[in-house]
Amino acid sequence: MLATVALSILLFGSSPALSKATDPVNKGLVAFGYIPANARESTGDTLGGIGSAIALKAGSFTKGKNGTFKGTLVVQPDRGYNVDETVDYQGRQHYVNFVLKPYYGTASLSFADAAKTLQLSYKKTILYKDRKGKATTGLDPVSVRPASGGDPILPVPNVKTKNQISLDSEGLVLSRDGSFWISDEYGPYIYHFSEKGHLLDVIQPPPAVVPRIGGAVNFTSFEGLTASPDGHKLYAMLQSSTMQDGGTDDTTSRNTRLFVYDIKRHVPKLIGEYVVPLPQTAKKHKTLAQSDIHYLDGHKFLVLSRDGHGNGDDESQSDYKSVDIFDISGATDIHGAQYDNSTAVSPDGVLAAGVTPATYTPFISLIDNSQLNRFGLHNGGDFDQQLIAAKWEGTALASCQESKYPDDYFLFVAADNDFNTLDGTMVGQPYSTSYGKDVDNQFLVYRVTLPMVPRGSIH
């Protein structure tokens, strides 16, 4: 399957292979499940967009009888259903319980039987609020709240009439103490919330990343967010390059940035920054933006890069959706340099002299029909319920808990369905998607061997 992946993309700064001592293995797709497009959550809103970010709730994943597993995924939608304009959708996360029954057979399952391998059930919702208990909103930020109380300037719809923090939530990290971090597209900022959803802290990135009028600008988000197992370091990665680094065109936007923050101190501090070269399509060299990252060992990370084709798009045939691996061990740390201000590190997509990027290696193709067909799914062809979703954006890992295979993990991957349903409700109002069809909230589970992950760091 790795050979198939390699044919569909063109990699820059890629590693020909990971070292044999840490060589990962894709053992294939083992489960599929979905939550119907028209499902509702406790607020009455449509339960959608939940693949924007996912995380496994600590201590929830347990092994049962007959090779089954149970656990809880915390899932996070973005800014609600928006086509003509954004809506006043409060940021939130949902708890989703699951029963995993891995299927290792070679015979193809029916779609109905395949969906029994990962059974998902909604449990509860936590809403996001600022320090004073005011709800966040999904409305476009066209104004800013002045810095105060330790917070930097914050994006809001209108500082006079709608002074609420605008959130387009993307990444999600759960902390040991029950609090959590989210990354956002509007800032792009990183926010720290209490277990009950109250704002605790805000990280504003360097000036090179903050949108502004005139000069260098940025309209890319912190799509990827992950943390070290001890909770001391937070890693945030932009979806693709900043505007000044080639982001004005998708053929020059491959050089994105990874930021590393020390969060064990009272005030988070930027301690590392690296350039990561994303894959590009082989024919037109268009950048395949990333949608999530996951910590492996401090140098290597999973990264989910993809195109936007599939169910939810006008084209059913996807050419690239893949969970890959990048390695920063030999990359140049550029934090604190001129690149954090007005100097581009990759003007017009050409990396500055003296800056070594991370290496990038393909790993798991999500569009391999030989795997999808075993679960009644397909890439390309008819726009039916079995068509793989367009926007895969969330990843989570859980140990397989097998002493014979201590380096084996289940990789959960979730799709963002953009709230596409013909029977929806958003902020108290009914809607029917302009896409014209339901798109379920899809989940895939792979079994992988990851020898580079320190044993015991993922449960």
**∠40-44-49 over CA atoms, to 5°?**
50
Separation CA 2–CA 196 (nearest Å) = 42
pLDDT recorded at residue 448: 98
| Residue 122: burial class (beta carbons within 10 Å; 0-12, 13-18, 19+) | middle
Rounded mean pLDDT, 161-169: 96
3-state secondary structure (DSSP) of residue 423: coil
With b meaning 16 or more CB within 10 Å and e meaning fewer, what string describes 346-385? beebebbeebebbbbbbbbbbbbeebbebbbbbbeeebeb
pLDDT at 218: 55
Q: What pLDDT does 287 receive?
A: 98
Tokens standing for residue 436? 């014209």
Residue 211 binned pLDDT confidence (cut-offs 50, 70, 90): confident
pLDDT, tens digit (0-9, with 9 covering 90-100), for 300-311: 999 999 999 999
Residue 161 identity: T
Over residues 335-383, the pLDDT tens digits come to 999 999 989 999 999 999 999 999 999 999 999 999 999 999 999 999 9
What pLDDT is recorded for position 254?
97
The residue to which tokens 């294939």 are assigned: 28
Q: What is the mean pLDDT of residues 173-198?
A: 96
Is a pLDDT exceeding 80 seen at residue 458? yes
419-456 confidence digits (pLDDT tens): 999 999 999 999 999 999 999 999 999 999 999 999 99
- Residue 13: band (very low, low, confident or very high) from pLDDT cuts 50, 70, 90: very low
Confidence of residue 22 (pLDDT cuts 50, 70, 90): low
Q: Given this model, what pLDDT does residue 266 score?
A: 84
What pTM does this model have?
Answer: 0.95
**Got the DSSP string for 146-181?**
PPBTTB--EEESBTTTB-S-B--EEEEEE-TTS-EE
Q: Kindly indicate the confidence band of residue 3, based on its pLDDT and cuts at 50, 70 and 90.
A: very low
Q: What is the mean pLDDT of residues 134-152?
A: 93
